[in-house]
Each structure stands twice: as C-alpha cells, then as structure tokens.
Amino acid sequence: MSNLSELYEKMEKSYDALFNDLTTIRAGRANPKILDKVSVDYYGNSTPLSQVAAISVPEARLIMIKPWDTSILKEIEKAINMSDIGINPTNDGACIRLVFPELNEERRKELTKDVKKRGEDAKVAIRNIRRDCMEVVKKMEKDGEATEDDAKNLNDEIQKKVDNFTNKIDKAVEDKSKEIMTV
C-alpha cells in the first residue's frame, strides 16, 4: 500500500509542477511570480531575487524591484536580462522597473495553446502514474496480498484520484487561459 501512496504523491507533484509552471507565464499583467526562478550573483553566491530585493506591483502592468543594497542593481538587471521572461528592465539608479507590454491577440492565442499543451502533458504524466498504480495492484493480487475484490476497489480508488487530478488540471488550464485572453 505504501507504493500507492508514493504514486499518489507523484500525482500531486505533477499537478503542483503544472500549477507553478502556469504562474510563470506572462499574461500581460504584472505577476511577481515570474521572477521566482531569477537568481542574482550576490557576493559570489547565486541568491533568489526575492531574498535581495523588495518586489512590488504598484500598477497592473508594472513590477518594481527595490534591492536592499543598491550596489547590486547591475547584477539584478543582468540576471533579469539573462532569464527568459522577455522583458527589458529599466534601471533608475534606485530601483528596477519591469513594464509589461499589452499582448496582441495573436500572442494571446499562442500563449493559450501553450497552456493547453502543458495541461495535456500533465494529464499524460498522471495517466502514466495511474498505469504504474494499476501494475502495483496487479502485483499485489498476484502475490496474494489482495483479493480480487480488494484489487477492484483499489483500481476504482486510483481512477477516482486520476479523475480528480484531471479535473484540477482542466480547471487550472481554463483559469489561466481566461486570464491570458482577458484584455
């Protein structure tokens, strides 16, 4: 049974990975989560941006980054330029501003397609985990650890979990698509 709980945990991690991935997609609005993966060289150590600066969203399409130590402004600017967020930082000597441009219709549709593809990839991962779960149940039945009825009940439970995660993935994809398509 511990194998199944490990596999359920993998399903949860697959969903969480998708959810975190979707938060980093730029939707025309300022979202400080896109900076979560940006690290700055701070005195020789790679440090997450959120640990060396205050990150705020004063307007819907603007992120303001105010470092605790202004001597690292250039390093922050360099880290943002090297990341794949696609926005050029503006350095005014005290803080860095990231202005999010309006997305055109074509780019919105492209992003929506990308979101749906990521959702499908997550569902494939969940189905692969389901297959692994069902193999564990078959082995338990074959080894005499579970009766035929137990195996059927476990398979039903596994399918309910898969359906639950599939619905959560669909909802996350739908919400992100709506956010992207909202002008």
pTM, entire model:
0.68
Query: Tell me, what's the pLDDT at 69?
Result: 85
Q: Residue 89 is part of a domain; what is its CATH number?
A: 3.30.1360.40
Same domain, 83 and 139: no
Q: Is the pLDDT of residue 76 over 70?
A: yes
The tally of domains found in the chain comes to 2
Q: Is the pLDDT of residue 166 over 90?
A: yes
Confidence bin at 120 (pLDDT 50/70/90): very high
Q: Residue 129 is part of a domain; what is its CATH number?
A: 1.10.132.20
Same domain, 16 and 53: no
Average pLDDT over residues 172-180: 88
Residue pair 130/138 in contact (Cβ under 8 Å)? The answer is no
* Residues 6 or more apart in contact with residue 180 via CB below 8 angstroms: 25, 27, 28, 103, 108, 111, 112, 115
Same domain, 59 and 117: no
Cα 114 to Cα 110: distance, rounded to the nearest angstrom: 6
Same domain, 121 and 151: yes
Query: Tell me, what's the pLDDT at 169?
Result: 93
Name the residue range of residue 65's domain.
32-99
Query: Tell me, what's the pLDDT at 123?
Result: 93
The packing angle between helices 148-181 and 105-142, to 10°, is 170
